[in-house]
Amino acid sequence: MIEVAEKLIAERGIGAVSLRAVLRESGQRNKSAAHYHFGSLPGLIDAVIEERGAPVREYRDVQFDAWRPSDGARGLVHVLVGPAAEFMLRPDSYYARFLAQVTSDPELHTIVQRRQHTPNYQETLRLLRDAHPQVPPALWQTRLDRVTLMTINILARWEATIPSGVPVPALAADLTDSVLRVLSGPLSPETTAALEPATTL
């Protein structure tokens, strides 16, 4: 059922998929068993993220353990982006498209956050924050949100159709570069001025 749910949600979207549809497509006739194991469609989505995301999380831990301060901020971004690209840009993968659909739903998005926020993931984010003290706290989280959605959605696009003439390692490396630029980009005078508290005469 997990494989079927992943594929159906990736191809049809959250709104077009129900637990009953997953049961039907998977050939599962024991409806009570499905409800016992997953409880609901969100429960099944959680199970997909737990199983499909496990290799990404495990490889991310390996990359984190291999990171050294001399690798700098780009090395930290690679810890976040590299494992996702490694496992999602494969011919038989639907996981990036599945995540793109799930993260578009504000309630289901929390499931993704809960599953991916492992101790090493959180420590990577902390180290990245320390490496960018020039970014105001008010903007840091918005930049993280932006690069998270950007990464998921571009991987979903590439998962469906790999751009011709560009090797997958080059795509992953360039995505890492792009994420780093978003996180570390300098503030324009306009943004700085807009952040300043209004003054009263």
- Residue 87, number of CB atoms within 10 A of its CB: 20
3-state DSSP call for residue 89? coil
Would the pTM count as exceeding 0.85?
Answer: yes
Residue 146 has pLDDT above 60, yes or no: yes
Q: Is residue 35 part of a domain?
A: no
Q: To 5 degrees, how large is the angle CA 153–CA 157–CA 162?
A: 140
- Percent of the chain predicted with pLDDT > 70: 94
Q: At what angle do helices 106-116 and 95-103 cross, to 10 degrees?
A: 130
Q: Is residue 118 part of a domain?
A: yes
32 or 175, which is more confident: 175
CB 44 within 8 A of CB 72: no
Q: Is residue 75 part of a domain?
A: yes
Which domain, by its residues, includes 57?
Answer: 53-186
Q: Is residue 162 part of a domain?
A: yes
Once rounded to an integer, what is the mean pLDDT over residues 35-47? 81
Distances (CA, A) of 130 to 72, 144, 188: 11, 14, 21
The string of pLDDT tens digits covering residues 102-140 is 998 888 877 877 777 789 999 999 999 999 999 999 899
Once rounded to an integer, what is the mean pLDDT over residues 51-76? 95
Determine the Cα–Cα distance for residues 57 and 30; give it in Å rounded to an integer. Answer: 32
